[in-house]
């Protein structure tokens, strides 16, 4: 395990997915998407801001097909737990009608975000719609969600790094780490 004194944030407990393991998995996902969309001329990667940015920008360079990217910003109305109410803060710009869309998020927790956005996008009549997430916490699901392209399943930890944040901190870490709030100094 890495020396904890070397972590740039006090609240980090330990690395649960290394930079090398992320790279390997993202490359494999990119290869699968390249294969699955080899006949698609209109492939749109639609990321949810801000958590999916690091994952999406790495993944897109592993997809050897023409692609377009766009983003939406959504937030769940809650203090600590998801309530199921998902608010659209900023919508995508592309008219997705007729596009093959892959909706990309950093992590699936309760499942409300992916489920709600997916339903909304289906009304806009894309040619196809699939979902992709770097991480999934299956023990936390409150609704059924299908993740077509998944990086890793993890236990019920709160994690940061590779785009994911704790209170806007930790997005720049190149690995996924679990947090321990007792370690946080003010
Ligand atoms: P859901 O709607 O409950 O599935 O929530 C998904 C969203 O919650 C993700 O897009 C993240 O922004 C956030 N989230 C859930 N778990 C974590 C975590 O462990 N670390 C950082 N963000 C998380
Ligand atoms: Mg998010």
Close Cβ partners of 5 (under 8 Å, ≥ 6 residues apart): none
Task: Provide the pLDDT for residue 82.
Answer: 57
Which one has a higher pLDDT value, 38 or 5?
38
Close Cβ partners of 90 (under 8 Å, ≥ 6 residues apart): 49, 71, 72, 73
Instruction: Provide the token pair at 49.
Output: 């801001």
- With a cut of 80, say whether residue 170 has pLDDT above it: yes
Instruction: Provide the token pair at 64.
Output: 């050897």
Distance 74 CA to ligand 2 centre (A): 7
Query: Is ligand 1 within 6 A of the CB of residue 112?
Result: yes
Q: Are 166 and 183 in contact (CB under 8 A)?
A: no
Cα–Cα dist 79/63, whole Å: 37
Distance 159 CA to ligand 1 centre (A): 9
Report pLDDT digits (tens) over 55-75: 999 999 999 999 999 999 999
Q: How confident is the model at residue 140 (pLDDT cuts 50, 70, 90)?
A: very high
Task: Provide the pLDDT for residue 85.
Answer: 84
Three-state secondary-structure class, residue 136: strand
Q: How confident is the model at residue 5 (pLDDT cuts 50, 70, 90)?
A: low
Task: Provide the pLDDT for residue 76.
Answer: 81
């Amino acid at each position: 395990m890495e020396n904890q004194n070397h972590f740039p944030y006090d609240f980090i407990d330990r690395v649960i997915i290394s930079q090398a393991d992320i790279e390997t998995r993202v490359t494999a996902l990119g290869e699968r998407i390249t294969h699955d969309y080899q006949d698609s001329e209109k492939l749109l990667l639609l990321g949810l801001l801000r958590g999916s940015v690091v994952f999406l920008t790495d993944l897109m360079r592993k997809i050897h097909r023409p692609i377009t990217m766009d983003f939406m910003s959504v937030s769940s109305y809650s203090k600590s737990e998801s309530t199921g109410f998902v608010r659209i803060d900023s919508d995508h710009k592309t008219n997705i009608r007729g596009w093959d869309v892959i909706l990309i998020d950093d992590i699936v927790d309760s499942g409300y975000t992916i489920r709600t956005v997916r339903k909304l996008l289906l009304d806009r009549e894309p040619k196809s719609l699939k979902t992709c997430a770097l991480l999934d916490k299956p023990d936390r699901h409150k609704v059924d969600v299908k993740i077509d392209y998944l990086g890793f399943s993890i236990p019920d930890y709160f994690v940061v790094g590779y785009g994911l944040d704790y209170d806007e901190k930790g997005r720049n870490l190149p690995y996924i780490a679990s947090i321990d709030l007792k370690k946080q100094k003010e």
